[in-house]
Every structure is written in C-alpha cells, then in structure tokens.
Structure 1
Amino acid sequence: MSAYTDDAARRLAREAALWLALQDAGGLSAEQRDDLSRWRERSAAHEALWQKAEALRRRFNEVPAPLAAACLDRPDPQRRRLLGHALALCTLAPLGWMGYRQLPVDSWRADLRTATGERRGLTLPDGSRLQLNTASAVNLDFSSDRQQVQLVAGEIAVDSVGALLVQTPHGLLRAKGASFCVRLGERGCAVSVSRGQVDLQPVSGSGARLAAGQRALLGATGIGAAQAFDAQLPGWQQGLLLADSQPLGELLRELRRYRPGLLRWDPALERLAVTGTFQLDDTDRILALLAASLPLAVHYRTRYWVSLTPRENTA
C-alpha cells in the first residue's frame, strides 16, 4: 500500500470517528445529518467504512459491560478480534473529536479543513497551489468570473498563478503570480509575502501593497507597518518549526497549535532560550529533544495531557 493510500485511509478513518463522536455526543441536527449523508455519498469507501463502524459499535454495545473485558481474555480468536476492533473504534471516536476540537463552528461547513496537527496541500482549479496549516479551514469560490479563497480559520500558504483573491474577516488580499502566507488571529491577519506582490484592503480604511520579503498585520480598520523577514527560511510548509534563541514559552505556544490535547508548562520555564530545527510531524520527539537540551522534565499523564516542569537537581 502506498504512502498516499495510507494517509488517505487514516484521514477517512478520522472523519468517520468524528461523525461517530458527534452522533454519540447527543445526536445530530438536521443540517448535520445532511452533511453526514453527503459525506457517505462521496465514494464507496466512505459508505463502506461508515457501515463497518456502525456494525462494530452495535456489536460492542450488545455485550454487557462487565463481560466485555472478560471476553477479551477468552481463547476465541474471532470474538477477541471483534471486541478488540470495537474497543479501538470506541477509543478512536473521542480522539477524532480531540483532533478537531479547536476548529470554530463555521469550520464544519467549510469546503476544506484540517485537524489539529494535520497539514494539507492541493492544486486549485486555476493551477495555484494552496496549503492548509494545522486546525485551518477555507471555502473555495472558483467560477468563470471569480477565483477566491475564503480563510475561515487557521493559516494558509498560497502560490498563485493568475489573479487570486483571499477573503478574510479583516479584509481582502489580491495577488497575481505571488507566494504568501495568511494567518488568522484575534487582532487581524498576519500576512507575509515571499514572492511577488500582494495588495491588502481592510474592511474599512486605506489599503497597502506588500512586496517580497515583507510582512504586516491586516486589521479590519487598518494595516500595520510593514516589516522585513527572511523569506528563504523554511517553515511549516516544509513541516519544520525553527527557533533561534527563542523563549521557550513562545516556542511551546506555537507547538501547542500542532498537538491535540493539553500541553502545559511551569511559568519558570518561559524564558529559557531555545535554538533548533524541529519536525512538526512528531511533537513527542520535539518534547523529548527539549528535555534533553534544557533543564526541564516532561510528564505524560496521558498521550493528550502533558506537563513540563523544571528538572530537579539530583547532583
């Protein structure tokens, strides 16, 4: 099985688990039931996985709770396999929910979205390249007279071919043959341009143009001062997190965007300096590397509940 097939299968399983979690959390609204129906109709694989998931859930629910664990210890391989899969499915549903928990409600209706820790790239109808960072969502509007991406949540990177609009809650971006990133925040959109030029127009107020190597904050009522940055440095598009004498607190707040669950740390660790290049695909390894190079300890209450504390001096 190819890596692409593995990734597609995992993504499909996460989506099915999420629908199960929503269904078990108290039922689906009429609109959500319609969305689920459309999800099941996307392909035979979608429907087959949903049928299997529901069948496993029904079989597991038929087993009395006191007997479920005992059944796993019986020598019947078929029953053990069935209950093992059912238990895995029951575990998968809440984990799928945790992966998506940071997305706003509007993201559920978005054309494209990513879970916490997931990144996704695709080619748009006009040939432009779009990448979604962790916990992000967009709507697409590509018609004969409009090529527009609406940023609903999170962060995107765009490598535009022709004229392209990016709509955000704080204003509009216009680009043609440009590469740029847009990150949605509470105070505005952080826009950075690595190639070409991008025109920024806030909801109200005067617009401005950013050139390659510049970044600025697009607010609803204005645009912050343009600042220079090194456009050649790799970043999340390459799956990397870079730090150059960065305060540990800042690094951990960025890392928390890519990690489902709770990540907490003692305030005494905030100002420790960190330098390094870290792979975003393995956040556990990042925590291990930090513990190996800094005076801190990593405590796992569960895989999704992690705390960092100053390391005790045992010398």
Structure 2
Amino acid sequence: MFTSLAQAGEEIDASIVKQAIVWLVTLQSGGASPTDERACEAWRAADSRHEQAWQRLHGLGQDFRASSNVLASPLLRSVLRNSERNNRRIVLKSLFGLALIGGTATVVRKQPAWQSAMAEHQTATGEQRRIVLADGTRILLNTATAIDVHFDDQLRLVILHRGEILIETAQDEAGRPFELATSNGTIRPIGTRFTVRHSDRPSSTAVAVLEGAVRVTPGQGNSVRINAGEQTHFTELAALAPFALDDSAAAWTDGVLVVERMRLADFVTELDRYRPGVLRCDPAVADLLVSGSFPLRDPDAVLALLAETLPLQVRTLTRYWATVTAAPQT
C-alpha cells in the first residue's frame, strides 16, 4: 500500500521534497563519499520533516519496483501536488533517473549525446589533460571528460557534458563574467579554484570550492553561494545547502584516489571510471570497508593490492571485464 505525503494531515513542504530528491540522486549517483553520506544523515536529523520526506520518497522507489510500473500512485500524485506546476516535470525526471519509476522510459537531456561525443576537449578513460583557455583560465580534465568552450563579447562559457574538471579562473581584461554550465544548471565563480563533477545516471552535478566562492543556480531552483572549504550537489530541481568539504575531494588532481572507510562497492564504482571496460563488485563483498591512498594511473595494480590486503579475488572474463569477489576459503 502506498503512503501519502499528507499522512496524518501534515503536508511536507515542496522545498523539502526537492531537497530529499537531490539527496537520493546524490547517494545513488555512484560518486557519493562518506562525507556526503554524513551530510545527508545530518540533514535528515535536523528536522523531522526531512526524515519524513526521505523515508516516503525512499519508500516510493520500493513501491514502484514492486508494483508493475504503476505511475499514478497516490504517493506520486502527492509528491507532484507538493511541487509547483513548472517543476513537476523536473520531479518526474529526477524520479525516472533514480530508477524509482520502472519501465523503459528515457530521461530527456538538454544536450543530445552527439554534443558530448563531438566536444572540443575530451579525455579518454584513465586520461587526464591540462588546458589553458584564451583568457588564461586553467582547466584540468579528469578521466572520460568532455567540455566545450564558448567565448564571446558578453560571456566566457564552459559547458561540461560529462566527467570532472578542476578550474582555476583568470581575470578577464574585458570584464566578461565566467560561467560553467551542465544540464543541471550553472556555476558562476568569484575569483576561484573549484572542481565540478557531472554524472548522468542519474543526472546531478557536484561542486567543491577550494579557493574563493561560486554561485550555483539550478535550472529550476534558487541560487546558492558556496564558499571556500564547502561543497554541494545539485540537480535541475534544486541545490543542497553547502556542507563541509571532503579533504580528499580534489585528490584526483594529484593522480590519487583517497578514501576512508568507503564501501567496497562504492570504491569499485569509483575505480571503474579510470579503467577501460567493465569493473563490477560481487554483492556478497559489497559492504567491506576500504581505506587508503591509491594511484589512479594503474587501476589493475590497485585491484591486485586489494586482493593482497582483503579476503578478495579479482575474476576476469577478458581483459576488459572483471569482477571483485570473495576469495575462496582454504
């Protein structure tokens, strides 16, 4: 049976519902860190309505998966009723992207796939590359990243189609503002150094500010200022309130992956970004915890180290298909 968001006569504010959706997107994006998880727990604990929205949206996914793809449940109608009319499409997109709604529906993107494939600057899986723009802005592209650069008389625009970048903005002699855009919204820096990661399954953007500040504006939400030492995640629907920056957020810029008590399943998902082919984790060992600093240039060496230090083995079908499983008992 579905549960209503207006249960017991108490409706949950639309802004809280949006925040809950962004947190769900963040934690199911495959790139969530322990810092993200702790921040979500703090958000849930800060207000009983936060926990209500979290539990009911989380339950929505379970209900959909068990209900033969029924779209018009009372709970979904209640979610939409608590959202402004022009945001209902965005709520549905977020739920589709989270696989909360079954079936074969496709989330509509603002930018078609060919734009990413034909982007001006790209990196292959496992590659990092530094570029300098015409205004002196420096960008480091991480693995499997694609960006376009558009400068005109009014604006310096960088579009991040996929992947992750570090930006060090330069002052512009013509006084043009700098803007970074993803399919979720825009980021305007204020003399800053920051990282941006854009994921499309589901669609979300993570921003971490190392120096200066930025202003994040979701496509359909309110702007949020993020200062040095803070980070946030946003979708087209809303941006989370800024929270403390994970110390290891920019470790990739030095070619290392730094983790502390990360679930093995999440660690393997992150390592998979840097390794050609398919890398998977057996659910039987998914909850083992991993800590340490690992070189990103050689993912196979990292896998070998895991097998030496944890009760694991790496099973390979081919060079491009590997699964981390439990080591056989002796």
TM-score of the aligned structures, taking structure 2 as reference length: 0.61
Matches within 5 A, 1:27-42: none
Q: Which residue does 1:182 correspond to in 2?
A: 196
Q: CA deviation at 1:143?
A: 2.9
Q: Which residue does 1:161 correspond to in 2?
A: 170
Q: Which residue does 1:202 correspond to in 2?
A: 218
Matches within 5 A, 1:267-306: 267-306=283-322
Q: Which residue does 1:110 correspond to in 2?
A: 119
Q: CA deviation at 1:106?
A: 2.4
| Contact 2:231/2:244, CA 8 A, preserved across alignment | yes
Q: CA deviation at 1:144?
A: 3.5
RMSD: 1.7
* Matched AA of 2:159: Q
The C-alpha deviation readout for 1:7-30, integer Å capped at 9, x for no partner, is xxxxxxxxxxxxxxxxxxxxxxxx
Question: Which one has a bigger Cα radius of gyration?
Answer: 1
The C-alpha deviation readout for 1:99-141, integer Å capped at 9, x for no partner, is xxxx943222211111111111111111111011111101101
C-alpha separation in 2, matches of 1:266 and 1:220? 33
The C-alpha deviation readout for 1:216-238, integer Å capped at 9, x for no partner, is 11221221121102457651111
Equivalent residue of 1:221, what SS?
A: coil
Structure 2: gaps (5+ residues):
1-111, 172-176
Equivalent residue for 2:155, pick from 146, 157, 160: 146
C-alpha separation in 2, matches of 1:231 and 1:259? 24
C-alpha separation in 2, matches of 1:232 and 1:305? 28
C-alpha separation in 2, matches of 1:215 and 1:141? 26
Identity of aligned residues (%): 38
C-alpha separation in 1, matches of 2:221 and 2:290? 39
Structure 1 238/183 Cα, relative in aligned 2: closer, same or farther at 3 Å?
A: same
The C-alpha deviation readout for 1:242-276, integer Å capped at 9, x for no partner, is 11111111100101111111212221111111111
C-alpha separation in 2, matches of 1:105 and 1:138? 12
| Contact 1:155/1:184, CA 8 A, preserved across alignment | yes
C-alpha separation in 2, matches of 1:123 and 1:184? 21
* Matched AA of 2:255: G
C-alpha separation in 2, matches of 1:232 and 1:284? 21
Matches within 5 A, 1:248-263: 248-263=264-279
| Contact 1:161/1:176, CA 8 A, preserved across alignment | no
The C-alpha deviation readout for 1:42-100, integer Å capped at 9, x for no partner, is xxxxxxxxxxxxxxxxxxxxxxxxxxxxxxxxxxxxxxxxxxxxxxxxxxxxxxxxxxx
Compare relative contact order (CA 8 Å, sep 6+) and give the higher one, 1 or 2. Answer: 2
* Matched AA of 1:183: R
Equivalent residue of 2:253, what SS?
A: helix
Alignment length (residue pairs): 212
Structure 1: gaps (5+ residues):
1-102
C-alpha separation in 2, matches of 1:105 and 1:145? 27
C-alpha separation in 2, matches of 1:124 and 1:257? 26
Structure 1 246/166 Cα, relative in aligned 2: closer, same or farther at 3 Å?
A: same
Q: Which residue does 2:142 correspond to in 1?
A: 133
Alignment of 1:307 with 2:316, yes or no, is no
TM-score of the aligned structures, taking structure 1 as reference length: 0.64
Structure 1 187/276 Cα, relative in aligned 2: closer, same or farther at 3 Å?
A: same
Equivalent residue of 1:250, what SS?
A: helix
Q: Which residue does 2:282 correspond to in 1?
A: 266
| Contact 2:127/2:142, CA 8 A, preserved across alignment | yes
| Contact 2:167/2:194, CA 8 A, preserved across alignment | yes
* Matched AA of 2:180: V
Matches within 5 A, 1:12-51: none
